[in-house]
Structure 1
Amino acid sequence: MKTIKAYLLLIAAFLLVVTSCEEEKVHRATSDDSIPPQPPTEVTYQPLYGGARFYYEVPDDEDLLSVEAVYTNKQGDSFSFSASYFVDSLDVYGFGDTINYEIDLYAVDRAGNRSTPVAVTVKPLESAISRVVNSLELKPAFGSFFVDWINELEQSINVYIDFNYSQNGESRSFTSVFSSNLEEDRRFVDDLALSSEDPVSVSIRVSDIYGNITEPKDMGQIHLLEDMVLSKEGWELPLNSDSVGGVPQAFGDNVEGRLVSVIDGIIDEGNNLNYMHTGGRGRTGSSADGNMPWNVIIDLGDHYELSRILTHQRHMDFCGDLCQGQYYRGENVGLYEMYIWDEDTQSWEYVSENKIEVPVGLSELEIVKKGKEGDEAYMYPDEPQYTKPTRWFRYRAMKGFGGNYTLDNANCLSEITLYGRKAAN
């Protein structure tokens, strides 16, 4: 045993000496070294959208840390990009035009010494923000409009939506700004109290973090769509397990939960216990039939053309507005489908699927506020319009939020509200 201990002590001492030597070498390299490395050689480039990719040979220098590229834009702002020494290429972005740009490439060592620059003239392809502008799509919606775009490089951009309209004889102008780095994005301009007769003029600009901004793109005029909240006074629910068109009504009366709560106009706020609860047997009420998908079928009492849905989740926490409770988690529905009854074919017609997105970057109080406001979805999200006239609506709960929308544990729902208009006779 003593021999083993002595052997281990020798190994530890050896490692300590090696580590100390390495630390001393690094210390000398970072503090005493004042000799710059040689510059990169064999430099070539490949044009990119709004940028360039440089290829090169790195110098043979044991202290080499990285290769750096620097350029200055027309506003006088300098931007620097770097890549580790063991990578043979370096991407530079931020060019707003398809003109020649002067780029300086340096080799940099661990002490921060730069080599002499290698000046390279590059001509990039179309700018990244110009491609975003070319992808813009504007569409009217109900009391709002939205804009879609593609940002294939996933760069950080700002989208400025300038819009104006006349209301009560007064001209009004606004700008909504949205920041994004998603490959594909959609943003709404909401809550515009305008009729379908009032035109809205829209133009859009796009900027990046490098000081570039596009000229305004005229998107023309649009007319918003109009709808209204449907009264629930004439709504009725088939009984648990009663079938409509071969689909059974959900079981929602577990413990304090009641199926009728989803159409009573009262949302669960944590302490009033106003929601349906399937108890894990939502399809029919029989455990043998499983839980999801379960269906809430509503007799609207008359024929309507539907436009939007607003759903409210169970909060289920007695701390009220002070904590998230089960909003966007727990036993709430995260993924659902919508159907209407087609009297011509005597069958359920699929309308669309909606995934309730989990809020990101919000405080707990903001999440509670969002949960209390409810989660809105269009019947036809990509092309907002009314459904054909129907008397029956079906909400098909598919998955909960858990496991990235893969679990069948969504037992609860607080409220369903529908928008649209009464069908013409």
Structure 2
Amino acid sequence: MKKIYYGLMLLLSGMFMITASCSDDDEDSGDKAAPGQISNVRFVPNYGGGYFLYDIPDDPDFLYVRADYTVDSGEKISKTSSTYTDTLFIEGFGQVKEYEVKLYSVDRNGNVSVPVVETITPMEANTNMVASTLKIRPGFSALIAEWTNELKQTVDVYVRLSDGEAVAEKVLSSNSKDGFFLVENLQNKDYTVSTYVKDQYGNVSGVQDCGTLKPLADAPLSKSSWTFLANQKLYGNRWNYDIDPNPDNQQPYDEYLEAFTKDSLRNAPPAAYEGRIEKFWDDVTYKMSPENYNIFNTGEWGYPYSYFIDLGRTVRGSRVRYWQRLSDKYGNENVQTFQLYISDDKDPTDGITDWEFVGTYKIIKPADSYEADQEAIAGHEFILYPKETKYTKPFRYLRFKAIKGFSERMVSVGSEITLYGLEGE
């Protein structure tokens, strides 16, 4: 019995030694060798930075290149390339002067090479370039800021304004190439305006004096006189009432049938399911708790389609605000793209003609989910003529034409529409 016990102890001891030996071998098996340096390094300057081109080392476990440098604020910055590229971008410099950049090769085991030290001179800061393109113009109850950011780097655009009594400053952070910023809820009076641009590295452009600007006046237009412009009224004496006693089966006289299509002078069904067209302008938007189903609904009509509205008096338009059905916002049966047309036909006897195209407007979902929710609740606002600040011509009749939905569904819905502008001629 003692011999068996002694033999078992020897066997276990041997197994422990083998296990320990294997463990030690595993710890020592990692590659500790630093990768080779990159070579043939070239630098191409750009605004506030630039990019390096290089040849990667002949190491099978090479992973990427890292650039370490310090910007004017004293902040230390690291930028890395992707694994399969020979280009490394750097940014954040605020002056046209020499800066030192250290370039390291890094392998898959985290080993780092001896740095290649480069002295570079970037072009002027990107904040200065953005600021040089920044323009401010009057909007409707607002000021409009527009700029170009060719590098699409994140910048903060500041608009400072004073009415002689108080000073306010608005800021928008953006990395869009074509920037657009509304300073809203302003009065129809003079404001002294200046602007500047800042980036995440602490670089700040000079302050630009934009002079004195005065927003144009506008306000939400009352919808109490709005009515649905049914097909019969849309065509006037060109409508054939005698073809069928049922109004749903009537149509224009034969010589006017060519225009009686979904893509032209014809209304989509005014009521379907829980929706009816009068809900489109009743000053009640869609609510979720409790759900009020305050929408129009075309039924299985498809795109494009139109609804024609008689405003009941003459107005001039400036902006439009549109609300989706919130239960499936940015999707399902909601409209994504629509157009507006206007007419001020003074004699509707032969139908409403002389329609003028105003613009095409597309609902774009913000990337931030909270912002997307808030915008859908507040309504999506569009300037009727976004490239210039002007009112429409005087008009009485409005055509809402839906071009495309968020999905391929044939059914289409919407909650509310509001026009902004001025009353009368």
Aligned residue runs from structure 1 range 11-410, under 5 A: 28-30=29-31, 33=32, 35-84=33-82, 86-166=84-164, 171-192=165-186, 194-195=187-188, 198-239=189-230, 243-244=234-235, 246=259, 247-270=265-288, 271-281=291-301, 291-315=302-326, 325-343=327-345, 346-363=353-370, 369-402=374-407, 407=408, 409=410
Percentage identity across paired residues of the two chains: 35
Going from structure 1 to structure 2, the CA distance change for 1:38 and 1:268 (only over 3 Å counts) comes to closer
Q: Read off the aligned partner of 1:292 and give its amino acid letter.
A: Y
Residues 240, 251 of structure 1: 8 Å contact kept: no
Partner of 1:288: none
Residues 249, 295 of structure 1: 8 Å contact kept: yes
Deviation at 1:258, TM superposition (A): 1.3
Deviation at 1:48, TM superposition (A): 2.1
Deviation at 1:56, TM superposition (A): 2.8
Take 1:26 and 1:300, find their aligned partners in 2: how far apart are those partners? Answer: 81
Going from structure 1 to structure 2, the CA distance change for 1:112 and 1:269 (only over 3 Å counts) comes to closer
The yes-or-no answer on 1:415 pairing with 2:422 is no
Going from structure 1 to structure 2, the CA distance change for 1:337 and 1:29 (only over 3 Å counts) comes to same
Residues 308, 419 of structure 1: 8 Å contact kept: yes
Going from structure 1 to structure 2, the CA distance change for 1:376 and 1:44 (only over 3 Å counts) comes to closer
Going from structure 1 to structure 2, the CA distance change for 1:408 and 1:243 (only over 3 Å counts) comes to farther
Residues 241, 250 of structure 1: 8 Å contact kept: no
Unaligned runs of 5+ in 2: 1-21, 237-258, 260-264, 347-351
Partner of 1:7: none
Partner of 1:9: none
Q: 1:223-279: per-residue Cα shift (whole Å, max 9, x none)? A: 001112222222221225753595122312112211222222222324323221111
Deviation at 1:117, TM superposition (A): 2.9
Take 1:85 and 1:227, find their aligned partners in 2: how far apart are those partners? Answer: 55
Residues 314, 424 of structure 2: 8 Å contact kept: yes
Q: Read off the aligned partner of 1:392 and give its amino acid letter.
A: Y
Q: TM-score, normalised by structure 1?
A: 0.79
Residues 46, 123 of structure 2: 8 Å contact kept: yes
Deviation at 1:208, TM superposition (A): 2.0
Secondary structure, aligned partner of 1:59: coil
Going from structure 1 to structure 2, the CA distance change for 1:118 and 1:389 (only over 3 Å counts) comes to same
Take 1:81 and 1:112, find their aligned partners in 2: how far apart are those partners? Answer: 16
Deviation at 1:88, TM superposition (A): 2.7
Deviation at 1:386, TM superposition (A): 0.7
Going from structure 1 to structure 2, the CA distance change for 1:367 and 1:132 (only over 3 Å counts) comes to closer
Take 1:124 and 1:210, find their aligned partners in 2: how far apart are those partners? Answer: 15
Going from structure 1 to structure 2, the CA distance change for 1:244 and 1:369 (only over 3 Å counts) comes to farther
Deviation at 1:222, TM superposition (A): 1.1
Deviation at 1:339, TM superposition (A): 0.6
Pair member with larger Rg: 2
Unaligned runs of 5+ in 1: 1-20, 282-290, 316-324
Take 1:173 and 1:410, find their aligned partners in 2: how far apart are those partners? Answer: 49
Residues 159, 169 of structure 2: 8 Å contact kept: yes
Please, which moves more after superposition, 104-113 or 211-220? 104-113
Deviation at 1:204, TM superposition (A): 1.9
Q: Read off the aligned partner of 2:228 and give its amino acid letter.
A: L
Residues 292, 408 of structure 1: 8 Å contact kept: no
Residues 242, 248 of structure 1: 8 Å contact kept: no
Deviation at 1:396, TM superposition (A): 0.8
Deviation at 1:42, TM superposition (A): 2.6
Residues 275, 314 of structure 1: 8 Å contact kept: yes
